[in-house]
Every structure is written in structure tokens, then in C-alpha cells.
Amino acid sequence: MSDNKVSVVLGTQWGDEGKGKLVDILAKDTDVCVRCQGGNNAGHTIVVDGVKYAFHMLPSGLVNKECISVIGSGVVVHVPSFFKELEDLQTQGLDCDGRLFISDRCHLVFDFHQIVDGLKEGELGRGSIGTTKKGIGPAYSSKASRSGIRVHHLYHPAEFEKRLRTIVAARYRRYGDFGYDVEEELKRYQKLAERLRPFVIDSVEFLHKELRAGKRILVEGANALMLDLDFGTYPYVTSSNTGVGGVCTGLGIPPSKIGSVIGVAKAYTTRVGGGPFPSELLDDVGQKLRDVGAEYGVTTGRPRRCGWLDLVVLRYSTMINGYTSINLTKLDVLDVFDEIKVAVSYTINGKEVTSFPADLDDLATATVNYVTLPGWKQNISKCRNFAELPENCQKYVRFIEKDIGVPVQWIGVGAGREEMVAVGLAE
């Protein structure tokens, strides 16, 4: 039995931290890259040799042509989107044949889930969550209510038809007739099932065999801790567990098999959609962060909300996920600022708070307490080791490390794969 451990990459904030780039870098020394939760509501952009690859559902490890990629059981899959994303990557010259697999336990997202997603957001009005309307939440709702349809059901046509008719009828009773053609969908999925068949595996057995064989496994988290169903800014969250617990439940891997947990943190903070964002900047500084950082969603194209780095969020995220090291991304975006603020605590009802509160009504009254650090006003995109960074830039990194008690192992200084500073960790 091998003592091999799984490495995990997770988002520390509200997503869009740049996890895909680190996964791409680590994948060159990885045998298997795995997604454990979420769906095609996630979005990564990876730049390799000037070519931009957009990932939504598929593991970013596909960029490494020697790496096998697996969509684990905790992911919800819209099969037409799976094939569309795969075709787009192959059109760009990425050969994925024989090295992409999907768990037979994955729940399926159907077009009716996407329709219901939009209807539900419409009902919420101004209090809407701000979902991507990809049907992810309704699919997880089907799963939790035990009425969902999994990949393996595709290969039992009578059972598949029964389950699809039942679940659509239930949605009609809830939302009225929204014009979903069940007959056409049954025909469509009969063809899709056969097309999908070569990709389908028992991922639990596969991953444990790979572990026993000493293979290097890298887990790519989607979304981020502050969007976790239990620990995020509920109800303004996604519909899955985005923290380290979701790795175990989404893949069938025990905690004892998890080794390094790498947290990816943007050097400032962004968020897409509704929900609280204490350090958000609704002024020219926020717009400057958005413009310099090109903060627009990969999946939706929506402009991201921007603000200063929030160490209350990062501290809380670290407690829950137990990061062994941090990848600090997009530090170069801060090159243009004379001074940089960092949120270090909140004041709520006259009391200083250093951990993230559960109650959003309390959070809405919070005053954010900042520390102001000097900027460096230099282009750091050509730096390739820590010593080359300007002194004030180094101090910014060390300030973060000291506060959260976790070492920064990588620093992103540009969009390209090569624009990453590796920082040596103390033994």
C-alpha cells in the first residue's frame, strides 16, 4: 500500500483567484488531475504559449498532454456543455483522446434545470443570488431531494425515462408549463449517452488504484471557500461544498489521503454576483482594479466587483481549509498604486471582529478597519524570484504571511504560465 497523498488546490476568497494557472503549472508533475465539485459555472483561463484556453467544467490539467483528467462524483454535469467545451479545446489543438474521464456517479444537469434557475432568480427579484443560470443550484437541489439523475442512469433507458418524466412533471407543478419538450430530450440523450459512454468510469475505484500505484493526484477545486454552501456568505453562495471537505465527499477520498492543501488568494479581492463584500470599492480605485486586472468573468463576462485584500476573509478561510501554503496571484495589478490598503478587522456593534461573521445583517453594519501599506510603483512582471521584487512588494507579501500564519509559495506576476515567482519554503 502506497503512502501517497493527494495535493489539493482551493480558492480562498469568492472565486476567480487564478486557480487554473497554478493547476496548469503543477499538472506538469501530475499523473491525474481531478475536479471534485461544482459544474460549468466555474471558469478558468490558462495562457500557454500565447494561446488562451477557457475551462469551465473540464479539469485544467488537460493542458498537460501527459496528464489524465477526471470529473469526480461530486460534479454536476451538463452533457452538451461537456462536449462543447471539449470540442473547443480540441479545435485549439489540445488532444484529449483517451485521457479524460467522468464518474458514473455524477449527477446530470438538464436544460430544464437551467430554465428553473432563471425562473427562481426572477422570483427573488432584487434579492437574487446572482447565479450564472447554468442550472447548477437546481441540479444540486434534485440531488439533495433524491430525485436527481446520475450518469449511470443513462444506460438504463426505462429508468432514465421514468426519472426524467417524474422530475420535469414536479417542476411543472411548481413553476407552470415552461415549454420543455421531454420527448425531444429523451431522443437527444439517447444519442448523447452513447457518445459519452467511452468517458464513463467508476472514479472511486480508479482514483484509489492510482493512489495505491503511487501516482501523483492533483485536485482542482472550483469556486472558493466564501461561496461554500455551509461556510460561505449564505445564501449568497454556490450549491456545493467548495472547501477541503468537498474534496473528500466529492471524490470518495478519506482525509488521511490528503497531503498539501494550497490556497489560491488574489492580492486584492473580487466577487461576482450578489452578496456581502466588506472591502468592496465603489469608486475610481475599484474601477482601476477592475480595468488593470481585467476583472470580467470567464463564464459570464460579467464585470467583477473589486476591493482591497480582506485578511478577515483569508484568516477565516485558512482556519477551515488548513492551507499548507498560499499562491498569491495578480500581485502585478497593484504595481500602479501609491499606497495599498488591507482590511484587518471589522467593527460590528462597537466591537472589533477578527473572524468572518455568520449573520449578514450584522455584517451589513460593519465598519472595515484597514492598515495602509506603501506601494512600490514598479513593474514586477519580469521578476522570477522573490529577491527581485521591490522592497515594499516583499513587505506586502510578508505582512500577509505573518497575519494568516501560512507561507506564500508562489506569486503570480502576470497572466502567462511563466509569469510566476516560486518562493522557497522553510524545511
Would the pLDDT of 343 be above 90?
Answer: yes
Task: From the candidates 16, 117, 310, 332, give the one annotated as an active-site residue.
Answer: 16
pLDDT at res. 282: 96
3-state secondary structure of 198: helix
Any idea what DSSP says for residue 62? G
pLDDT per residue as tens digits for the range 300-322: 678 999 999 999 999 999 999 99
pLDDT per residue as tens digits for the range 157-198: 999 999 999 999 998 888 888 888 999 999 999 999 999 999
Would the pLDDT of 23 be above 50?
Answer: yes
Would the pLDDT of 2 be above 80?
Answer: no
CA distances from 274 to 107, 319, 360 (A): 26, 25, 12
pTM: predicted TM-score of the whole model, two decimal places: 0.92
pLDDT over 90 percentage in the chain = 78
Average pLDDT of the residues in 95-124 = 88
Average pLDDT of the residues in 353-361 = 96
pLDDT at res. 1: 26
Q: Which residue has the higher pLDDT, 194 or 61?
A: 194
CA distances from 259 to 110, 150, 180, 190 (A): 35, 30, 46, 41
What are the φ and ψ backbone dihedral angles of 188, each rounded to 5 degrees? -60, -45
Any idea what DSSP says for residue 283? S
pLDDT over 70 percentage in the chain = 95
Angle at the Cα of 39 (from 33 to 41), degrees rounded to 5?
Answer: 115
Q: Is the dihedral of CA 110, 112, 115, 119 positive or negative?
A: negative
Task: From the candidates 44, 107, 113, 153, give the one annotated as an active-site residue.
Answer: 44
pLDDT at res. 125: 59
Whether 359 is a known active-site residue: answer: no
CA-CA distance, 61 to 25, in Å (whole number)? Answer: 9
Count of other CB atoms within 10 angstroms of residue 268 = 27
Q: Is the dihedral of CA 422, 423, 424, 425 positive or negative?
A: negative
Whether 78 is a known active-site residue: answer: no
Would the pLDDT of 212 be above 60?
Answer: yes
CA-CA distance, 237 to 418, in Å (whole number)? Answer: 33
**pLDDT bucket at 131, cuts 50 / 70 / 90:** low
Name residues whose C-beta falls within 8 Å of residue 268's C-beta, 6 or more positions apart in sequence.
Answer: 289, 293, 306, 307, 308, 309, 330, 333, 334
Round the average pLDDT of the chain to a whole number and report it: 92
Average pLDDT of the residues in 125-140 = 75
pLDDT at res. 123: 62
